[in-house]
Amino acid sequence: MDETKPFVAVVESDARKAPLRVAFVTRRTSPQVHSTDDAFVMTWPEGILRAAVAVEALAIVLVLLSLFADAPLEGLANPMQTPNPAKAPWYFLGLQELLHYFPPVVAGVLIPTLVIIALVVIPYFNVNIEADGVWLRNRRRRLQIFAVVLLALIVFLMVFEVYAVLAPTLLIGACMLLAARRPIRVSSVQRWLTSRPLSFWIMTWFLLTSSILTAIGTFFRGPGWSWVWPWSA
């Protein structure tokens, strides 16, 4: 990185050749030079060849997998016999696990629709544009709202006995409370947690929840969608 240059103001007589540039130094910044300019490289050959290496690595992995692991093919489709268990492909198993707790209208239609809508509107909501830590502003008020929401969610999940979602909810809740602790420790873990915006927490909760649901649907569900321990099967 370049050494910091002293701040110099230049005034030229020809505004077109050397436009006047004025830097406003606000409270939270210093006039330290962050970076002089973005280094550019040629797409060809650098960019394209790097991409080619990445693609090549992926191709090797997939080809090796295809040579040694066969895709499944069960018996001919038989409308008169339902296999037990009848599982969806892995990316829908999280949804199928959710179907165990909620009726099809909720788990099959409502929740996926809400998830898609939530994803689409992410960039249009201020919650996600703020890049500041969620506890760094209006801490008391936000803690109150947080307590109410978390409690409501926990009650809802316990009523429907959706422990698979309850566990990550409690985990994220605990991490958020840790992030809200005062004073902010010098330790980098708590500092990093405290600087996470609300959008980070919501998305991480979503990522954890869907991963756990998918894992349960894949490994812990047997005939009749009953609970099985994968090592005993």
Question: Tokens standing for 150?
Answer: 């978390």
The distance of closest approach from Cβ of residue 202 to other proteins in the complex, given in angstroms and rounded to an integer, is 10
Instruction: Identify residue 130 by its one-letter amino acid code.
Output: E
Task: Please pick, from the candidates 1, 9, 41, 186, the single residue that binds other proteins as defined by CB under 8 A.
Answer: 41
The distance of closest approach from Cβ of residue 71 to other proteins in the complex, given in angstroms and rounded to an integer, is 4
Task: Please pick, from the candidates 4, 83, 149, 192, the single residue that binds other proteins as defined by CB under 8 A.
Answer: 83
Alpha carbon distance 19, 65 (integer Å): 59
- The residue whose two tokens read 């040694």 is 68
Task: Please pick, from the candidates 90, 156, 160, 192, the single residue that binds other proteins as defined by CB under 8 A.
Answer: 90
Q: How many CB atoms lie within 10 A of CB 112?
A: 13
Near other proteins by CB under 8 A, which window of 91-99, 149-157, 165-173, 175-183?
91-99
Q: What is the per-residue binding string for other proteins in 101-140, x denoting contact by CB under 8 A? A: --xxx--xx------x--xx-xxx---xx-xx--------
Q: Which of residues 137-196 bind other proteins (CB under 8 A)?
A: none
Nearer to other proteins, 6 or 104 (CB): 104
| Phi and psi, residue 227, nearest 5° | -75, 130
Contact flag: residue 22 with other proteins (CB under 8 A) = no
Alpha carbon distance 200, 130 (integer Å): 10
The distance of closest approach from Cβ of residue 113 to other proteins in the complex, given in angstroms and rounded to an integer, is 9
The distance of closest approach from Cβ of residue 139 to other proteins in the complex, given in angstroms and rounded to an integer, is 18
Task: Answer whether the bond into residue 183 is a cis peptide, omega within 30°.
Answer: yes
Length of the chain: 233
| Phi and psi, residue 85, nearest 5° | -90, 155
